[in-house]
Amino acid sequence: MLSVHTSPLDQPGTGDAGGMNVYMVELSRELAALGIEVEIFTRATSGTREPVCELAPGVLVRHVDAGPYEGLSKEELPAQLCAFTHGVMQIWAGHHPGYFDVVHSHYWLSGHVGWLASQRWGVPLVHAMHTMAKVKNAALAAGDTPEPAARVIGETQIVRAADRLIANTTEEAAQLVRYYDADPPRTAVVHPGVNLTRFTPGAGRAAARARLGLPREAFVPLFAGRIQPLKAPDILLYAVRELLDADPSLRSRLVVPIVGGPSGSGLARPERMQKLAARLGVADLVRFHPPVGQDALADWYRAANVLVMPSYSESFGLVAAEAQACGTPVVAAAVGGLPVVVRDGVTGFLIEGHDPVHYADALRRFAERPELSEALGGAAALHARRFGWSATATDTLAVYREALAARAPARQRARAWSRGHG
């Protein structure tokens, strides 16, 4: 596996680490459980980490030196792809011929390294976009920065070069075809998963609130994720203001946790959300909390009455799936993969557009009817069980085998040529 811009060992919710990091960690572990050895190559961003770390039995993470450890933004990483590729090739040269069977690249930067590795090693390239420039640019938040043309070109090249593309949902597969002219037979849909051992209802909301120091009777709408315009945490703050304007009595029992750190274009204005909360007069209700580990994140989900996910674009929506697995309903934008993850009216509510008034209307239903969180939360926990990582790994392995089978005739011809000219 290749992940140039973020390590699977990074804390999700910080910098560029997010759902993709969770995806690689969980998928790799499940593949290893199926007997597939996995090596993940990522750019070294710290001198304190060992060059090779064991993530789990059968899963190694290799940190490749490519550019300075710190100070490089994601936009500057294309200039380091040559150095990163060189590092990958050096490690590969230490293995016996045919050591790697498949290259699985994540995000477009890794796709370019994977493209070269695939050609050099004579193995299939399986690529997961995770997000796409054309899709993001078609649904930009106000004031957000468009993805550059270089990324669009790079993604187009990878789509043409990959033996197989993995899409999170049928909608994402359709976007690959619509925006990038992907070949449908080479595009497979594999849903990401949820760690159903970690993300469970547990002992319930009261116990989680006690551990987190939250009031037992509070109404708690939660935002969890990276703080950037794409994820739209500001919509939640505007919706809270709408709630209070309609019913000022809610102020006495409203607590609004925002769990996560600035990321992407949000790094340019890291205090934007705090300033917005003050300007809207809700700063006393909002609790900003830095990113937390997965076990602690599960407690935040359990403690909330509802998770709010007003993103402008989501290839899947792991946060929504995790919250539902913990028995917490979701109010989410009807974008990307979220309509797959959230069953409207059953496990939460899907909102068309990003008008805070509509989000406030949905939240008001939970505030006025506490039993609604319990009813929809129970259905949410059941629904989330269909997204286990073991199924993701099994389906991904099937994609690898299809790619290998399609490559087999060419590999046989190459071996025959090599024997005849050896």
Binding site membership for Mg(2+): which residues? 301-302, 304, 328
d(CA 403, CA 114): 14
Bridge partners of 288?
258
List the Cα angle 364/365/366 in 5-degree steps: 90
d(CA 9, CA 117): 23
Strands 256-259 and 348-351: unpaired
Q: What's the one-letter identity of residue 160? A: R
Residue 220: exposure state from Cβ atoms within 10 A (0-12, 13-18, ≥19)? buried
Q: Which residues contribute to the annotated binding site for 1D-myo-inositol 3-phosphate?
A: 5, 16-21, 74, 107, 131, 151
d(CA 233, CA 249): 23
Among candidates 184, 261, 185, which has minimal Cα distance to 228? 261
| CA 47 to chain centroid | 26
DSSP string across 330-366: EEEES-TTHHHHS-BTTTEEEESS--HHHHHHHHHHH
Residue with the two structure tokens 């009817």: 369
- Please say whether the beta carbons of 308 and 223 come within 8 A: yes
Q: Which residues contribute to the annotated binding site?
A: 5, 11-12, 16-21, 74, 107, 131, 151, 226, 231, 292, 301-302, 304, 314, 322, 328
d(CA 316, CA 134): 16
Q: Which two tokens stand for residue 50?
A: 């060992």
d(CA 84, CA 8): 17
Bridge partners of 42?
3, 63
List the Cα angle 225/227/228 in 5-degree steps: 120
Among candidates 48, 101, 47, which has minimal Cα distance to 411? 101
Q: Which two tokens stand for residue 57?
A: 């039995």
Q: Which residues contribute to the annotated binding site for UDP-N-acetyl-alpha-D-glucosamine?
A: 11-12, 19, 226, 231, 292, 314, 322
Question: What does each C-alpha distance from 325 to 73, 196, 280, 362, 415 come to in angstroms?
Answer: 34, 7, 32, 20, 48
- Please say whether the beta carbons of 137 and 312 come within 8 A: no
